[in-house]
Every structure is written in structure tokens, then in C-alpha cells.
């Protein structure tokens, strides 16, 4: 039986809403959209904090959210009068519990993600973190003084602002964020949960008991004093856009068809490399990335930069949990070798060459 409607809870949600609003640049632009269990996920425009709280209370404080960006149809600001054209002030990373075997594994991934953020923006930068009841949401405050569509280096690409939201969540999480979120997030559906409210999905799994385990709560607070400069990600973002553009052009020209016929089917996979991708190693990890995996995934399997990065990073994560930890920066090493393979069209090490260079590894993959 769900019974939690109290003044104390109402005050907790009001404080949680204040916390979320503190991440928005002043002056806070109203109206924004909210959603709740009562709206069945439908977004409703509200014109003040008090109106938002009224909607949340009517939903018994279940699934309370507010939009990270003003709705395009609600604003007269010329920079946000189109659906996916905004200055980027906030990036959300959704780290869902379901892909991880345990809470400990999820927490380890969160720690790695936070290290990636510091590597990208500097040690002085700290994001906000909330526990959603089913994982973590990380809010990264960004400093951007223009919309990307107005910059000549980005204007030739389709909807670069929206693409940046998706790229940044994937890139900073090393592909570990909820793929359903980063593949589909946009300015119109980037909705932030309110601390103090309840995640109804988790309540349902908890025999309809709304308690602290199903309540959205603040793990780390950052009140918007430090914003990460967006330009620090521009180099990687441009590479990402170029990669996607090349893939789309290749698709239009029908290049992918040549890898689907019977004559070329054997070129799509190399069995011994596929086997190696399932075996964590204590040695030869760095060479395996540069000489085998990066050129194999890019040149032979024709995977995207994003897909290749995720596969190699997953393999290195398994290696890192073994007896011997990694002694190099995996993110930098993967990115460097993927870019090199893509620019040079390099091919992976041949099995015969592996036999000469590393007989021990050769024996592992052929036995």
C-alpha cells in the first residue's frame, strides 16, 4: 500500500526542485515543461515553481520531472525558437542499473565516469549526481555562449546542437550510459527527475512500498558555480560528426552492400580475433588494441567509431579486473588507434605474424 503524502515529503520535493533549478542559468526561463505519473509521461507547460509543485502533489510525488531546457513553443528567445537549437547549458548522463551485474559494478563505472569528466575539463570541475532509484543521473553544467548551428565548423552538419547532447553523454561515459537515452535525447525530451520524489517503476518492484530505496536523492551537489567550457570537447565532437557523415555517405552509395553478399561474407569477421575479444589478457593489451582490434573493427567489420570504442573499452575493462591492472590510459589509447585505423585504412595483424611475434597469445587463440 502506497501512503506517503505528507507535508514533510512536500517540503522535500520543493527542496529537490530548488536543487534542480539551481543548475539553470539565471534568469530561469519560464515556462518549462514538467511530467509526472499523473500526466503519464506527457509534458505539460508550467509557468512557475509553485505551479510545478502543484502538479507533483497531484501525482502523489511519483515520477516528477522538469525539462532541462525551455520548450521551443514556450519561448520568445530567438536562440531557442526551434526545437533543437539551443545554447548548451547542461548535459545529462543516465547511468542505468540494469546492464550491470551488481550495485558495486555500477559504482565502479560511476567512479571511472567521474575520472573521465575530470580528464576532459580539469580537476576543479565537479558535476552533480543524483540517485534515480534505478541508477545514477549525472548533471554536467556547460558554458556555451552561442548555438553550434551558428559556428562555421558545425553549420554544415545536421542539428549539431542535438547531436552534441548525444555525443557528450556517450563520449564522457565511454559508452556505458543508457544507450536508449543517449541515442534519443534531445532538447525537447531531456527531463530531470526531482530529488525527494519517487520512481514509480522502482516502487512497483518493491511491492508498492515507497521508501528511501525508491526515492530520488542527491548524492553530490553542484550549484552551478563552475561550468565546463564546451569548446574543450570540440575536437572530439568534430571527429565524431565527420565519422557519422562518412558512414551516411557510404550507406547512400551502397558500400555496405558489398559486405553482405556471399563472396565477401568471410571478410566481415575473423574468427580468431572474435575469439580474442572474449578473452581478458594480463599482457599484450596495448598492442592488441593498436595492432589487432582497432584496424579489425574499423577496416574489416566496418563498424562506426562509437561501436568500435564501446567494444574495445568493454574488453579492456575485463582485462583491468584481472590479476594485472592496466598501466596506460585506455580512453586515449583507444581513441588514438581508432582515428589512426580510420585515416590509414590499416588492417589487423595476421595470425601468421602473431605466431612469430607472440607465440603464447597465438596458442591461446588457436587452441
CA angle (88, 100, 318) in 5-degree steps: 100
The cell 580512453 sits on which residue? 331
Same domain, residue pair 130 and 279: no
Same domain, residue pair 107 and 161: yes
Percent of the chain with pLDDT over 70: 86
How many CA atoms lie less than 13 Å away from 318 in the CB half-sphere?
11
Look at residue 262 and tell me whether its pLDDT is greater than 60: no
- Domain boundary (176, 204, 234) is at 234
Which of 69, 58, 57, 68 has its CA nearest to residue 12?
57
Same domain, residue pair 201 and 91: yes
CATH, residue 111: 3.90.920
Same domain, residue pair 280 and 170: no
Same domain, residue pair 180 and 275: no
Quote the pLDDT of residue 241: 85
- Domain boundary (171, 204, 234) is at 234
For residue 240, tell me if it sits in a domain. Answer: no
Q: Which domain holds residue 275?
A: 256-366
Same domain, residue pair 119 and 226: yes
The cell 565537479 sits on which residue? 126
> Would you state the cell numbers that stand for residue 120, as one nine-digit string?
576532459
In this prediction, residue 66 has a pLDDT band, given cuts at 50, 70 and 90, of: very high
How many CA atoms lie less than 13 Å away from 343 in the CB half-sphere?
7
For residue 123, tell me if it sits in a domain. Answer: yes
The residues, any chain, with a CB within 8 Å of residue 46's CB and separated by 6 or more, are 30, 31, 32, 33, 34, 52, 55
Angle, in degrees to the nearest 10, between helices 49-58 and 7-21: 140
Q: Please tell me the total count of domains within the chain.
A: 2
Average pLDDT in the 97-105 region?
90
Same domain, residue pair 17 and 101: yes
For residue 248, tell me if it sits in a domain. Answer: no
Average pLDDT in the 204-208 region?
66
For residue 246, tell me if it sits in a domain. Answer: no
CB burial string 10-39: b at 16+ within 10 A, e below: eebbbebbebbbbbbeeeebebbbbbbbbb
Look at residue 203 and tell me whether its pLDDT is greater than 60: yes
Residues in the chain: 367
In angstroms, the CA 361 to CA 355 distance is 8
For residue 1, tell me if it sits in a domain. Answer: no
Confirm if 54 and 10 have CB atoms less than 8 A apart. Answer: no
Min mean pLDDT across 21-30, 218-227, 263-272 is at: 263-272
Helix (H, G, I), strand (E, B) or coil at 227: coil
Same domain, residue pair 150 and 69: yes
Same domain, residue pair 109 and 170: yes
Distances (CA, A) of 109 to 104, 171, 223, 314: 9, 14, 24, 11
For residue 244, tell me if it sits in a domain. Answer: no
Same domain, residue pair 58 and 133: yes
Quote the pLDDT of residue 208: 67
Q: pTM of the prediction?
A: 0.69
- Domain boundary (204, 234, 264) is at 234
Same domain, residue pair 205 and 334: no
Other C-beta atoms within 10 Å of 311: how many? Answer: 18
For residue 208, tell me if it sits in a domain. Answer: yes
Same domain, residue pair 300 and 206: no
For residue 243, tell me if it sits in a domain. Answer: no
In angstroms, the CA 195 to CA 129 distance is 10
In this prediction, residue 83 has a pLDDT band, given cuts at 50, 70 and 90, of: low
In this prediction, residue 10 has a pLDDT band, given cuts at 50, 70 and 90, of: very high
DSSP conformation class of 296: I
Amino acid at each position: 500500500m502506497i501512503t506517503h503524502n505528507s507535508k514533510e515529503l512536500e517540503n522535500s520535493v520543493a527542496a529537490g526542485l530548488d536543487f534542480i533549478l539551481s543548475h539553470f542559468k539565471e534568469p530561469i526561463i519560464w515556462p518549462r515543461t514538467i511530467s509526472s505519473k499523473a500526466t503519464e509521461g506527457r509534458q505539460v507547460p508550467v509557468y512557475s515553481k509553485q505551479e510545478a509543485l502543484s502538479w507533483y502533489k497531484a501525482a502523489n510525488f511519483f515520477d516528477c520531472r522538469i525539462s532541462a531546457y525551455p520548450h521551443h513553443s514556450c519561448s520568445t528567445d530567438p536562440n531557442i525558437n526551434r526545437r533543437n537549437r539551443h545554447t548548451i547549458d547542461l548535459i545529462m548522463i543516465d547511468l542505468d542499473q540494469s546492464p550491470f551485474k551488481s550495485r558495486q559494478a555500477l559504482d565502479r563505472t560511476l567512479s571511472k565516469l567521474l575520472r573521465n569528466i575530470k580528464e576532459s575539463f580539469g580537476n576543479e570541475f565537479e558535476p552533480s549526481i543524483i540517485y534515480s532509484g534505478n541508477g545514477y543521473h549525472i548533471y554536467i553544467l556547460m558554458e556555451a555562449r552561442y548555438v553550434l548551428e551558428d559556428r562555421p565548423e558545425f553549420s554544415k552538419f545536421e542539428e549539431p546542437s542535438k547531436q552534441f547532447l548525444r555525443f557528450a553523454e556517450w563520449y564522457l561515459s565511454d559508452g556505458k550510459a543508457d544507450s536508449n537515452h543517449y541515442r534519443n535525447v534531445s532538447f525537447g525530451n531531456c527531463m530531470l527527475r526531482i530529488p525527494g520524489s519517487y520512481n514509480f517503476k522502482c516502487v512497483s518492484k518493491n511491492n508498492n512500498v515507497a521508501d528511501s530505496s525508491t526515492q530520488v536523492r542527491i548524492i553530490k551537489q553542484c550549484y552551478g558555480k563552475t561550468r565546463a567550457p564546451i569548446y574543450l570537447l570540440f575536437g572530439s565532437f568534430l571527429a565524431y560528426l565527420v565519422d557519422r557523415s562518412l558512414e551516411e555517405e557510404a550507406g547512400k552509395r551502397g558500400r555496405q552492400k558489398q559486405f553482405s553478399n556471399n563472396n565477401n561474407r568471410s571478410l566481415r569477421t575473423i574468427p580468431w580475433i572474435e575469439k580474442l575479444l572474449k578473452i581478458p589478457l594480463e599482457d599484450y593489451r596495448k598492442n592488441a588494441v593498436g595492432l589487432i582490434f582497432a584496424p579489425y573493427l574499423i577496416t574489416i567489420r566496418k563498424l562506426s567509431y562509437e561501436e568500435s570504442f564501446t567494444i574495445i573499452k568493454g574488453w579492456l575493462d575485463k582485462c583491468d579486473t584481472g590479476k594485472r591492472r592496466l598501466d596506460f590510459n585506455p580512453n586515449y589509447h583507444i581513441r588514438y588507434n581508432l582515428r589512426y585505423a580510420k585515416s590509414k585504412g590499416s588492417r589487423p595483424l595476421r595470425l601468421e605474424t602473431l605466431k612469430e611475434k607472440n607465440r603464447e597469445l597465438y596458442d591461446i587463440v588457436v587452441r
